[in-house]
Amino acid sequence: MNTLEIYQEVLLAHNENPNNFYAIEHPTNKAYGVNPTCGDEISVYLLLNKEGTLETVSFTGQGCAICKASASIMTLHLQGKTIAQAEADANQVLQVLNDPNAALPNHLDELKALMGVRKFPMRVKCATLAWHTFLKALRNEPTEPPNCCCCRSNP
Ligand SMILES: [Zn+2]
């Protein structure tokens, strides 16, 4: 595996300096997701306003570079979108990530750095985790992280 191909500069930059990497204090929606094959785990927080627009999208957690970069890119992309737009975009991203032959629609062009992982099927789940967790948050399926004193504290 040529790691240079996965860890493109864009992904590396997002991993080192993730956007919106914090917990929203009073989120309207929140969900937790885990990718057992890699050990990635993240929580996604949403702040939806009365108009049904995503005012803020943030995340916390620990994961590999791909997982974190994907979440960082996702929060930037979804901010300011309506629920319907955001849900449609997330579903499209997941579809394209899971299908090496699918083309990325033009309006999702800013997400193309993520699509390199499609060459590495083992890592696709790292990239999809944030988006799956976002959809769970939208549907209000929180799935609390394990709160265990010996391994991790509940964020
Ligand atoms: Zn991972």
Within-domain flag for 155: no
Which pLDDT belongs to residue 146? 66
CATH code for position 74: 3.90.1010.10
Within-domain flag for 69: yes
Which pLDDT belongs to residue 1? 47
At 17, list the tokens. 């300096």
Distance 126 CA to ligand 1 centre (A): 4
Report the chain's mean pLDDT, rounded to a whole number.
Answer: 89
Within-domain flag for 65: yes
Q: pTM for the complete prediction?
A: 0.89
Within-domain flag for 145: no
Within-domain flag for 148: no
Distance CA 9, CA 14 (A): 9
Enclosing domain of residue 106: 3-138
Counted domains in the chain: 1
Distance 52 CA to ligand 1 centre (A): 31
Convert the pLDDT of each residue in 51-110 to its tens digit.
Answer: 999 999 999 999 999 999 999 999 999 999 999 999 999 999 999 999 988 999 999 988
Within-domain flag for 49: yes
Distance 41 CA to ligand 1 centre (A): 9
Within-domain flag for 149: no
Distance 83 CA to ligand 1 centre (A): 27
Within-domain flag for 99: yes
Q: What is the mean pLDDT of residues 6-20?
A: 87
Distance 71 CA to ligand 1 centre (A): 11
